[in-house]
Amino acid sequence: MFKAVIFDWDGTLADTKRAVVESFKRVLREIGCIVNDEFLVRRIGTGTRKMLEDALNKCNITFDNTVLEELTRKKVRLQKELSETVKLFEGATDLLDALYGRIKIALATMSSRSVIDKLLSEKKIKKYFNSVITADDISKPKPDPEIFLASATKLNLHPKDCITLEDSIFGVKAAKVAKMKCIAIPSGAYTKKELQKEKPDLLIDSLTQTNKILNFILQKAQS
């Protein structure tokens, strides 16, 4: 019996690819680290710090915590400046509307708190969420289940009472380890075939399949 739906943000509810990739590339370019778009896109969802570490290691650039913190601050600032490039996926608002008031709704994202607060306000969807957990609230990135478990705790629910919506293999893995059901959507960097290998409980084409999503979630919520 589901009592809450936990949404991922990047690549699930919103197309943030341009803002994320461009902000990373600009910051990394300043220190002579050049990586291609695919390198970054395939890591979206693991969090800013982990993505920076992967890029710096690939470029053989030594770093410490101070360097990571400074790069993170610059990247977050740039990403906020690019917020106008972020678009909600078709069907996102309709799905949130359909769920609102019928089940608790949470957001669990590896984006930073300041970025998410700005975007939720700009897109006028902040009202839908009973809980918002960001990378600032946890210490371990996906595929570690910490962010989903933190969401369940904030909602005062057991993990088994929650279902997640995710676009990345990292997110599906995290949901599984958290003992939560998961709906996977190939709207981010990963194909249906790649997501299927992680054995999500439901695999859909897009958020426009509102009835299919609602039937899966609400029949469980009402059973």
Q: Residue written as tokens 């959507």?
A: 185
Indicate if 78 and 95 belong to the same structural domain.
Answer: no
Range of the domain at 92: 4-15+86-222
CATH of the domain at 189: 3.40.50.1000
pTM listed for this prediction: 0.93
Taking residues 162-169, what's their average pLDDT?
A: 97
Q: Which distant-in-sequence residues (6+ apart) come within 8 Å of 117 by Cβ?
A: none
pLDDT tens, 8-27? Answer: 999 999 999 999 999 999 99
pLDDT of 220 reads 60
pLDDT tens, 46-90? Answer: 999 999 999 999 999 999 999 999 999 999 999 999 999 999 999
Taking residues 205-218, what's their average pLDDT?
A: 96
Q: Residue written as tokens 């990135």?
A: 141
Indicate if 30 and 98 belong to the same structural domain.
Answer: no
Tokens of 31: 């220190």
Domain boundary among 84, 106, 141: 84
Alpha-carbon dihedral sign for residues 46, 48, 49, 54? positive
pLDDT of 167 reads 97
Indicate if 130 and 37 belong to the same structural domain.
Answer: no
Task: Tell me the residue ranges of DSSP E strands in the chain.
Answer: 4-7, 14-15, 87-88, 104-108, 131-133, 162-166, 181-184, 202-203
Q: How many domains does the chain have?
A: 2
